[in-house]
Structure 1
């Protein structure tokens, strides 16, 4: 899929030092994300020193995967999005709050793919409801084939994303 990016936001296996494991890592990462979005970060690139809201107005974005949550359609799959993933939940909440307060005009969607048997599971209801409350589209239409045929499940989703992004 040309012009598509896959971000391993919690680390990559081939770079073990990039993997986030504990609350200390998550807390530091969350602090960096919050600074990057709300007040600007202290990097040598001066455009990072401005809050995301200002950079969006100036069209000075595309420097981080965080920018993509505000400027592109984002598709999430293969991630359980447990509530301990506070960095992602904070970003989704910040995004929706910014939309509701009209600080940021959002024209793009975030879609979260979930297997149907999890979508219908009462244990997942709070997560699905919270995702919807922060503006995430929850897609479970491919989930029926998940059990016993995970490869087909993921290939079907990749094809769905491909079809949506190559119109």
Structure 2
């Protein structure tokens, strides 16, 4: 069996490690205070983040995200923060998927204030759809997909029921139109043409860290299920500190059911965790 290509998948954890982001529960709490909404932790904590944000904004998600993106666009990096970003970019992955709206990876090596998406050439899908196709080139060979939107384009941000539903619908339509080709390529040992991050997620081996696989990420969970059903020879490796996921944790149980390979890292704290991962993956 041929060796699969690989893709790196990172999330808010890397931005937190660089000191430029907060946990989502903190973000939601701050937004609720801005909108004068009283939160009830015993109730709200049972809801996924994409539902909590609806409550916290009194269903003014669009306005809240526009305001939030203005803050995110102003983020700059120190030289020390850039070192961590450069270490991630130096890993042997030509393709990087991130759920972050911010440009901590790109800003580690470029001084741009604005990052514009590049689209694959010569394909039949809507070129302006940055959520599926648009990527930011780091260099000639390395690209970054921001699959949940961009701080520089607040209308692209995926948060709340409405936008998660729209994104999942696009993903399903795209997969439906390409599945026969992918299956034929798999059958005859042909290389899959990577046009969208969805292609890479399904057909490549995925290495995840700094991403919590929260149950609110319904697009990712659906793709995990789809990957297992149609591309069982491609794997997902999920890196996590050994002390973070209890044996009866709902995310662990769901990952086990879907065949995600959980790589538990013996470490004292998150700094150790990332250092160990970067050494291993390099």
TM superposition score normalised by structure 1: 0.72
Residues 75, 161 of structure 1: 8 Å contact kept: no
Residues 194, 200 of structure 2: 8 Å contact kept: yes
Structure number with larger C-alpha Rg: 2
CA displacement 1:113-148 (0-9 Å, x = unmatched): 1222212364xx221111121111011124x322xx
- In the alignment of these two chains, the number of paired residues is 139
Q: Mean Cα displacement is larger for which, 70-79 or 151-160?
A: 151-160
**Partner SS for 1:29:** helix
**Quick check: which one's strand share is greater?**
2
Structure 2 CA distance for partners of 1:19 and 1:151, relative to 1, 3 Å: farther
Runs of 4+ in 1 over 6 A off after TM superposition: none
Between the aligned partners of 1:53 and 1:76, the Cα distance in structure 2 is 27
**Quick check: which one's helix share is greater?**
1
Between the aligned partners of 2:180 and 2:242, the Cα distance in structure 1 is 36
Residues 74, 109 of structure 1: 8 Å contact kept: yes
Q: Find the partner of 2:257 among 127, 133, 136.
A: 133
Larger RCO, structure (CA 8 Å, separation 6 or more): 2
**Partner SS for 1:114:** strand
Q: Any gaps of 5 or more consecutive residues in structure 1?
A: 41-50, 99-103, 163-167
TM superposition score normalised by structure 2: 0.45
Equivalent residue number for residue 54 of structure 1 = 181
Alignment RMSD (CA, Å): 2.2
Equivalent residue number for residue 159 of structure 1 = 279
